[in-house]
């Protein structure tokens, strides 16, 4: 029997915060027609779909790699680590035979892998993973906004917006900024 999971990440481009990856097994009865790429959904839609995925998917996991780890090993390796951790966690209870990975690079896994460029726009399992990763990362950044409101993380989630760059000029990096990134 073939058991496929979709894998995606959120948070490669921001100047602050973690990178988050998710792995999802939908199952044959999941209403996949409701899914879209997380970037094409409004926040309320993503949150609603996150609940649906967590309640009705055959399996799912989310893995977080910190900004410190990103600075230690670089964003690409941190992304691969997050994806590897998400799939490895899922494999503890599900005999995954293949992982469909969004993008053109794959982490080293104990199952077959296939990379799919723009998979988050075409493959339901990857769409679901993109939603879980994005919602979890956004939730983390909103919590950071409460600690460091001057950076307005709740608005831009750490991405390099004009307001974020201006806050960096005024206040310098916060404890959650990626020091290996250029501001």
Confidence of residue 183 (pLDDT cuts 50, 70, 90): confident
Question: Can you give the residue ranges of every domain in the chain?
Answer: 4-171
pLDDT of 31 reads: 96
**Model confidence over 89-110: pLDDT tens digits?**
999 999 999 999 999 999 999 9
pLDDT of 1 reads: 74
| Residues 6+ positions from 90 with CB-CB distance below 8 Å | 5, 23, 25, 59, 60, 61, 96
CATH 3.40.50.920 fits 4-171, yes or no: no
pLDDT of 2 reads: 82
Using DSSP, state whether 116 is helix, strand or coil: strand
């Amino acid at each position: 029997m073939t058991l496929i999971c979709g894998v995606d990440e959120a948070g490669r481009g921001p100047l602050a915060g973690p990178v988050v990856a998710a792995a999802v097994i939908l199952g044959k009865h999941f209403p996949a027609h409701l899914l879209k790429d997380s970037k094409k959904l409004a926040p309320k839609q993503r949150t609603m779909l996150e609940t649906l995925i967590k309640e009705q998917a055959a399996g799912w996991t989310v893995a977080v790699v910190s900004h410190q780890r990103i600075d230690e090993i670089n964003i690409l390796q941190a992304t691969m680590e997050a994806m590897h951790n998400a799939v490895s966690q899922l494999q503890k209870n599900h005999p995954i035979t293949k992982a469909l990975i969004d993008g053109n690079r794959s982490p080293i896994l104990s199952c077959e892998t296939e990379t799919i460029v723009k998979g988050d726009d075409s493959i339901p399992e990857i769409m679901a993973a993109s939603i879980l990763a994005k919602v979890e990362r956004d939730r983390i950044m909103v919590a950071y906004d409460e600690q460091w409101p001057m950076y307005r993380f709740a608005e831009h989630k750490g991405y390099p917006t004009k307001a974020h760059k201006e806050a960096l000029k005024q206040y310098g990096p916060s404890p959650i900024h990626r020091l290996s990134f250029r501001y």
